[in-house]
A and B are shown apart, each in its own frame.
Chain A
Amino acid sequence: MKKILSMLLSLTLLAGFIFAGDITMSGSTTVFPIAQLAAERYMDKHPDVNISVRGGGSGVGISDIILGRVNIGNASRQIKNKETKQAKENGINVVETVVANDGIAIVVNPSNGINKLTLEQVKKIFAGEVSNWKQLGGASMPIVVISRDVSSGTFEVFKELVLKGGKVREDALLLASNNAVASNVAETPGAIGYVGFGFLSDKVKALEIEGVVPNEKTVNDGTYKISRKLYMYTNGAPKGEIKAFIDYILSSEGQEIVKETGYIPLK
């Protein structure tokens, strides 16, 4: 028995030694640009540290942290009760750190004459109850609905705040990342989609919702309703290099990266 315990202890120490200085992250494609740029800048300052960042969606990030597969699980939605239970059962004490604020912009192709919609109209479009831009005062053009897959935290937030639990129409194009949604909307004249603020560019047009322009100011003052926080989840309170990295993101330099990537820094 002693031999077995010694062997286990040795393996644990060996594993700890092998992976010292490495940080692994996965999850939300919304948080990905912040995590990626912060990792690059942090590694420039600390050449002995290796940080790997993978996407996959918020569901993947949270699942990976529950299963102990990564050091940091990135998410654009809050962890669910069911997931917290699974984590606790597995001996994982999930700790949440808010790293940025974000809005979800409803985007259309720049050639689309529509500039504003109400939340109810957006809901009807995604549910399939409105299928042509003409019904909303635009040109006669079929609406192409682009949404995110079910692993997406952005989808979860959109479903909660806009669809109010309703379904996305059957023939919607479901894509795996914010970037893919933005690209497809940019290339499809009749398309509508939704992305985190970090994916806004002049290739897509962000619509006013309920007469409110989506930007940092309207998210911070609460007038733009489709907003959320961005999270990094760890097993226990961050320690060592993981703590140093998260502290870096929360620092003024890290929050500049948040701004640089198009998101909203914490106040």
Chain B
Amino acid sequence: MKKLGNLLSLLLLAVMIFTNISAIESKVSMELWNRYTVDLNGTDITKSYFSLERGYLGIEPTFSDKMKGRFTLDFFSTDKFEEGVGIKLKYAYMDFAMPVSDMSLQAGLIKTYFGTIYDWTYATIQKSFDDKEKIVSSADYGVSVNGLIPAGFGEYAFSLYNGEGYSKAGGDIDANPAFAFNLRVIPLTGITLGGSVLYEDHSLLVDADSTVSDTVRMVYTGVGRVAFGPIDIIAQYAAKDMDGSLGAGFMVMPVIKINKLVSALDMELVGRYDSYDKNTDADETNDSYGRIVAGFNWNLFKNPDDGKPMVFVQTNWERTMYEDTTKDATDNVAIQLRYLFSGKM
């Protein structure tokens, strides 16, 4: 509890400092996810509980048109600590505009620009496919050059990361950096195609005789999206080659935006199918599984300025089916209230 108190004091101090620096304009935001979850095995309820799954507190200072920052903490329910709450540092970076139009350099604890993980809007309560299957971590320490292709034809990012993800630090970080490239193109209105690759190789920086980690990791993904009228479909294939062992799978997620059919009903119907095999080279491991998600999102309040949802309810049913015939399919039903608010200092 003392640690938590210290962290909160530091946070308060940071907010006070930002408030008192007159040259800086800062946006402060909070996003909370209150969830009720029921886990089932067959018809047996194995767990049912209320929780705060996310509590993002963000400060985004703007120093000038060409320099801004982002600092985000995540508060969440957990039984790992006696206080029942955990805190994660999610983002902490500066963003510098480059001399080239629509290009910037980010440095610090930044998003992992890969697949669907960096712009996943959680149309399902479930994480993005690459996040759920631990293909990559959603954020990592590093630098990234991001840009937009002219005339709205897409975006790109060249990045260099620790490679271990935002939850690892100090002794958990090896000597190898991870190189990543992400590209999204929109050749036709409503059709988005993209791909990303992240590569980490011990031999690039460390002596062959070194005793430090010799992991060679290559992860890659292809993403497609079709948006037409009320229909929006995202598909993704992703693979993770870790020291010669290949895990691979895909996701398809159709969303029907009901509000585009009946404007008074601000809802989305969501479906999703995931399939992942942790080791495609070994059939006998029986470690592949499939996941079906069905649900709806109901917007209760949208920001009148930009139309983005500010208060909404999500309901998902999720079934996971295992290749291993000794394991029963498991079900999960979750209802989540998400709400966010922000202000300027």
Contacts and interface: CB of A to CB of B under 8 A. Distances in A.
Interface of A: 8, 11-12, 14-15, 19, 56-57, 59-60, 63-64, 67-69, 81-93, 151, 159, 165-167, 170
Residue from B66, B150, B190 having most chain A Cβ neighbours under 10 A: B190
B190 A91 contact: yes
B261 A12 contact: yes
Interface string B55-90: 000000000111000000000000000000000000
Contact of A82 (B102, B192, B307): B102
Given A12-B229, A91-B227, A69 B148 contact: no
B305 A91 contact: no
B205 interface: no
Contacts of B260: 15, 68
B148 A56 contact: no
Closest 5 CB pairs of A and B: A84-B152, A91-B190, A91-B227, A85-B152, A93-B189
Given A81-B152, A88-B152, A15 B262 contact: yes
A81 B151 CA distance: 6
B78 to A, nearest CB: 35
A195 B151 CA distance: 29
B290 interface: no
B210 interface: no
Contacts of B262: 11, 14-15
B154 A91 contact: no
B283 interface: no
Contacts of B304: 56, 60
B321 interface: no
Nearest to A11: B261
Interface in B130-153: 148-153
Nearest to B190: A91
Contacts of A12: 229-230, 261
B22 A63 contact: no
A172 to B, nearest CB: 11
A15 B263 contact: yes
Contact of A92 (B64, B150, B189): B189
A154 B304 CA distance: 19
A63 B186 CA distance: 19
Nearest to A82: B148
A89 B227 contact: yes
A66 B143 CA distance: 31
A206 to B, nearest CB: 27
Contacts of A165: 64-66
Contacts of A84: 151-152
B230 A8 contact: yes
20 contacts: A8-B256, A11-B262, A12-B261, A59-B305, A60-B307, A63-B305, A63-B306, A81-B150, A81-B152, A83-B152, A85-B149, A85-B155, A87-B189, A88-B192, A89-B227, A90-B227, A91-B229, A92-B189, A167-B65, A170-B25
Interface string B93-106: 00000000110000
Contacts of A170: 22-23, 25
Given A15-B261, A151-B305, A85 B65 contact: no
A60 B305 contact: yes
Nearest to A176: B305
Contacts of B301: none
A85 B186 CA distance: 8
B50 interface: no
Nearest to A66: B307
Given A59-B305, A59-B306, A89 B225 contact: yes
